[in-house]
Structure 1
Amino acid sequence: MTMQIAIDTSTDTAGLALVNDRRVTAEFTWNCGHNHTTQLLPNLRYLLEQNSRTLESADCIIVATGPGSYNGLRVGLSTARGLAFSLGIPVIGISTLEAEAWQHAETGLPVCPVLNAGREEVACALYQMKDGQWGQLMNTQLSTIASLCSKIQTTTFFCGEHVQAVAAELTERLHEKAVFSSPVSGFRRPGFLAELGLKRMDAGDFDETATLQPLYFRGPSITKRNPGKK
């Protein structure tokens, strides 16, 4: 029985999922802070052991490609590529924002996932399920809330782990056009990342393992040393 592994380390909230026979049979989500490097592989081993599976059972790695934090995505993508190379299996990269939005596709509304990008900006995009077809209506971008609201023309469902922090401003600017996920349903689940990966897998749409790249919010923060200090 083959298995697919989904990995999401886009933000401080990390997640793993296992798919067996086209069903998500295990999910593990935790707040890892900036500890992706030390926690990802031990938690993957734990999830596999709890489900009596091994890495050798995997035939595809599905990984969130961002936007997200520099450290988190670097760890997730390097782990996914390393597993794909060592096991000789393909990899599929999925937008973190699309995975956020896919959880709410059945609302039928345009879905706008938002992630905190710092500097009073959010990473956002716009998706919708219409007539049974899932599509992206607005490209992934960094935006202020004011700029984002200027692009919203109809009632829109806002979601994502940062949405509660900006809900008041969205409501003030959009009024009844802004609809929100609950705090619990806004929690990003790796099982939905896995579902999107399965769709790509069915279509034979894999990424090049060696060249798959993450989409960072911004580059790493580098503080130059003051030459006057020792």
Structure 2
Amino acid sequence: MGRPRRRTLSRRCVVDRPRLCAGRGYRALRGHSRRRRGRSRSSHHHDRRRARAFRRPAARARGDCALMLLSIDTSSRHGGIAICDADGTVIEARLWRSTANHTAQLMPAVAELLKAQDTRATDLDGVAVALGPGPFSALRVGVSAAKGLAMAAGFPIIGVDTLALEARPHLTPDGFTAAWLDAGRNEVAVGWFSGDGERIREDAIVAPEIALEQEPALPDGALIYCGEATHARRDAIKDFGDQRGDPSRPTVAAPWTPADRLWALAYVAAQRLHRKETDDLVSLQPYYLRMPTIGVSKRRDRVRQGRPSATSSQN
């Protein structure tokens, strides 16, 4: 008879078995690992249940609480977001000045604002966005973010002309308002409005001195210059009014703060949402001052994609 065949273990078993069985049986060690994993998983689920239970009272059911509207403005280097109630009263806001196109500031500010209000994007009733005129990249950031939120959460979107927003805090029945926004190249975008917010002539992009010389022929009443672009040109506007010397048409350069435009956006959007005057998510587009300077031929004229007609009212 030959010698009995010797059973051998595979290389993997020879190496792994001593390590797994050291001091305790292999099955015992496996059971210990299972128990540890089981306790860890149970503890993890328990923590998640506690977190959900803590957040549940803050979840807002639609129709049970007051309206909440998010407003986004990236029309210039001064950007901001705000949450307002049904009356358009701002509850909380964030403002900043961007050196680029607001990409780094916008969505972190939205997340911070929602967290401060102890709410979620799905609890909002709508989103409003300033459509410009303004720089191409800056407007795209704000409008794209607003569209993304509206699409994901399923609430309506409202777009408002930025020149009308600049003019709104300064409208008066006894005069007219000229809103200025910086257009680059030492030019300004100008919109002229009557006391009820109606445009009285077509918007223009011109040098500031030409904008002053091209004042529309208006009846008696004060002409109020307002907007972000007038802030640094107050002296030139005052000098122009003094040179004209017409007491029946005084010229006033209104003070400006970054919050003016954002507060006006919240109020106008809340009123439009109450009247169910919302915009189409697909067709809504910004109102650019110019086409981007990279990748396309240089053109001097404006691109009017999202701008309302010259006779429309933003009240």
Question: Quick check: 1:10–1:96 contact (8 Å CA) kept in 2?
Answer: yes
Matched AA of 1:113: A
Unaligned runs of 5+ in 1: 225-230
1:112 alignment partner, one of 164, 178, 186: 178
Deviations 1:105-159 (A, max 9, x none): 2574312111111223200101233xxx432223332122233222244531111
Distance in 2, matches of 1:64 and 1:108, equals 27
Question: Quick check: 2:191–2:203 contact (8 Å CA) kept in 1?
Answer: yes
> Which SS does the other structure have where 2:69 is aligned?
strand
Report the Cα offset of residue 103 of structure 1. 1.8
Deviations 1:34-82 (A, max 9, x none): 1411210000111111122211111111100000111110000101111
Matched AA of 2:278: F
TM-score, length-scaled by structure 1: 0.86
1:148 — aligned with what? 211
2:157 — aligned with what? 91
More strand by share: 1
Question: Quick check: 1:15–1:189 contact (8 Å CA) kept in 2?
Answer: no
Question: Quick check: 2:131–2:159 contact (8 Å CA) kept in 1?
Answer: yes
Question: Quick check: 1:61–1:90 contact (8 Å CA) kept in 2?
Answer: yes
1:190 — aligned with what? 262
Query: Which range moves more in the overlay, 142-151 or 56-65?
Result: 142-151
Distance in 1, matches of 2:280 and 2:177, equals 29
> Does residue 71 in structure 1 map to residue 137 in structure 2?
yes
2:98 — aligned with what? 32
Distance in 2, matches of 1:40 and 1:32, equals 10
> Percent same amino acid at aligned positions?
30
Unaligned runs of 5+ in 2: 1-64, 297-315
1:3 — aligned with what? 68
Query: Which range moves more in the overlay, 118-127 or 62-71?
Result: 118-127
2:201 — aligned with what? 138
Structure 2 CA distance for partners of 1:216 and 1:116, relative to 1, 3 Å: same
Q: Over aligned residues, Cα RMSD in angstroms?
A: 2.2
> How many residues in Structure 1 have an aligned counterpart in Structure 2?
220
1:227 — aligned with what? none
> Which SS does the other structure have where 2:128 is aligned?
strand
Question: Quick check: 2:187–2:205 contact (8 Å CA) kept in 1?
Answer: yes
Structure 2 CA distance for partners of 1:178 and 1:70, relative to 1, 3 Å: same
Question: Quick check: 2:164–2:197 contact (8 Å CA) kept in 1?
Answer: no
Distance in 1, matches of 2:227 and 2:192, equals 12
1:220 — aligned with what? 292
TM-score, length-scaled by structure 2: 0.64
> Which SS does the other structure have where 1:182 is aligned?
coil
Query: Which range moves more in the overlay, 42-51 or 5-14?
Result: 42-51
Matched AA of 2:133: P
Distance in 1, matches of 2:172 and 2:123, equals 32
